[in-house]
Chains A and B, each alone.
Chain A
Amino acid sequence: MELFTMFWEYRSYFLTGVQYTLILAAIGVLCGFVLGLIIALLRMSSWKIVRFFGHAWVEFLRGTPMLVQLLIIHYGFATVLGVSFSPIESGAITLTINSSAYLAEIFRAGIEGVDRGQGEAARSLGMSKGMTLRFIIIPQALKSVLPAIGNEFITIIKESSIVSMIGVTEIIFQSGVIVGITYDPMTPYLIAAIMYFILTFTLSRILGVFERKLKASDHR
Chain B
Amino acid sequence: MKKWGILFVALLMVTSVLAACGNDKSNTAGKKIIVGMSADFPPYEFHIKNEKGEDEVVGFDVEIAKEIAKDLNAEVEIKDMKFESLLNELESGRVDLVISGLSPKPERLKQIDMSKIYYKAEQSVVSRTADKDKYTTMESLEGLKIGVQKSSIQEDIAKEIPNAKLTSLSKISDIVLQLTSGRVDVAVLEGPVAESFVKQVDGITITDAKPANEDEGYVVGVKKGNKEMLDQVNTTLDRLIADGSIDKFVAEASALAEKK
**Which stretch (A26-34, A47-55, A152-160, A211-219) binds chain B?**
A26-34
Instruction: Give every chain A residue within 8 A of B112 (Cβ-Cβ).
Output: none
Q: Is the CB of B21 within 8 A of A89?
A: yes
Check B173 against A166 for contact (C-beta < 8 Å): no
Of the candidates B55, B93, B173, B176, the one whose C-beta lies within 8 Å of that of A13 is B55
| Distance to closest chain B CB from A191 (angstroms) | 15
Give the contact stretch, choosing among A78-86, A97-105, A119-127, A202-210: A78-86
Q: B260: which of A166, A176, A177, A181 is its contact (CB, 8 Å)? A: A181
Measured CA separation A4–B30 after assembly (Å): 42
B249 at the interface (CB under 8 A from A): no
Q: Which of the segments B9-17, B135-143, B227-235 contacts the partner chain?
A: B9-17
Residue of B nearest to A93 (CB): B18
In the complex, whether B73 has a CB less than 8 A from a CB of chain A is: no
Q: Which of B17, B18, B48, B176 contacts A181 (CB 8 A)?
A: B48
A180 within 8 A of B: yes
Nearest-neighbour CB distance to chain A for B233, whole angstroms, equals: 22
Q: Is A165 engaged at the interface, CB distance under 8 Å to the other chain?
A: yes
Min CB distance B37 to A, Å, is 11
Q: Is A75 an interface residue (CB 8 A)?
A: yes
Residue of A nearest to B81 (CB): A167
**Cβ-neighbour of A78 out of B22, B40, B92 (below 8 A):** B92
* Interface assignment of B46: CB less than 8 Å from any CB of chain A: yes
Least CB distance from A214 to B in Å reads: 13
For the complex, what is the distance from the CA of A71 to the CA of B92, rounded to whole Å?
12
Instruction: Give per-residue flags for B155-171: 1 if the beta carbon is below 8 A from chain A beta carbons, else 0.
Output: 00000000000000001
Q: Does A88 make an interface contact (CB < 8 A)?
A: yes
Q: Which residues of A contact B173 (CB under 8 A)?
A: 179-180, 183, 185
Complex Cα–Cα for A183 and B198 (A)? 11
List the B side residues contacting A34 at CB < 8 Å: 7, 11
CB distance from A215 to the nearest CB of B (A): 18
Pick the most buried of A9, A27, A88, A183: most chain B CB atoms within 10 A of its CB. Answer: A183
Flag whether A10 is at the interface (Cβ < 8 A): yes
Q: Are B93 and A78 in contact (CB under 8 A)?
A: yes
- Bin the interface of chain A by size: 20 to 34
Q: For A168, give the chain B residue with the smallest CB separation.
A: B21
Question: Is A12 part of the contact surface with B, judged by Cβ < 8 Å?
Answer: yes
Q: Kindly state the separation between the CA atoms of A86 and B24 in the bound complex, as whole angstroms.
A: 9
Across the interface, which residues of A come within 8 angstroms of B79, CB to CB?
167
**B177 contacts A86, CB within 8 Å?**
no
| A12/B53 in contact, CB under 8 A | yes
* B residues less than 8 Å from A86 (CB atoms): 21-22, 24-25
* Least Cβ–Cβ distance between A171 and chain B, in angstroms: 15
B14 contact set on A, CB distance < 8 A: 26-27, 30-31
Asked if A40 lies at the interface with its beta carbon under 8 angstroms from chain B, I say: no
Besides A10-B49, A30-B11, A176-B40, 14 new A-B residue pairs in contact (Cβ under 8 A), listed by A number: A34-B11, A71-B88, A74-B92, A75-B85, A75-B88, A92-B18, A165-B85, A166-B85, A167-B79, A167-B80, A167-B85, A181-B46, A183-B200, A185-B173
B residues apposed to A, CB below 8 Å = 7, 10-11, 14, 17-18, 21-22, 24-25, 39-40, 42, 46-49, 53-55, 79-82, 85, 88-89, 91-94, 171, 173-174, 176-177, 197, 200-201, 260
Rank and list the top 8 A-B pairs by shortest CB-CB distance, nearest first: A78-B92, A185-B177, A75-B88, A180-B40, A167-B81, A183-B200, A88-B21, A179-B173
